[in-house]
Amino acid sequence: MKIVKIISFVLVAGAFGGLVNSIVVWLLGATGITPALGFSMAPEWTFEWMGRRVFASALWGIIFLIPVYKDAPVKKGVLLSVLPWLSSVLVVFPMQMGTGFFGLGFGMGTPIWTFLFAGIWGVTGTLFLSRFYKEKAHR
């Protein structure tokens, strides 16, 4: 049962990171900040948009099981966020959204902004885990 608990926590951590990430992406797009700074993606706040992002983020939460920087959740979150970021800029943007590698169809700032957003996801998720999941040393 321990594995079920661990997987449940990393999925929730990933989903929570996705929720926070999505709110930040939407707010910065809706206020015109990211478009003014080289990233023209300004998504509409819809259940479909949010649901897809939170679901995918929950699945990405599995990478929080990678045993790096166990005592440094911020470092771990930033490091592990590179994987979903690479997926976005090398697969999602060019193959699913048609905006080219690194999403440059959204603007020259896209790689930097999307890395920042991925970092928000990773750090939020790992901080959630460090706060709410305490593995007992004697188990």
Distance CA 78, CA 116 (A): 9
In the chain, where are the structural domains located?
2-132
> What global pTM score does this model have?
0.89
Could you read off the pLDDT of 116-135 as tens digits, one per residue? 999 999 999 999 999 999 76
Do the beta carbons of residue 114 and residue 88 sit within 8 Å? yes
Could you read off the pLDDT of 40-90 as tens digits, one per residue? 887 889 999 999 999 999 999 999 999 999 899 999 999 999 999 999 999
Distance CA 39, CA 102 (A): 11
Given a cut of 70, whether residue 4 has pLDDT beyond it is yes
Q: Which of 26, 18, 7 is nearest to 54 (CA)?
A: 18
DSSP 137: T
Which residues touch 25 (CB under 8 Å, ≥6 apart)?
Answer: 34, 41, 43, 117
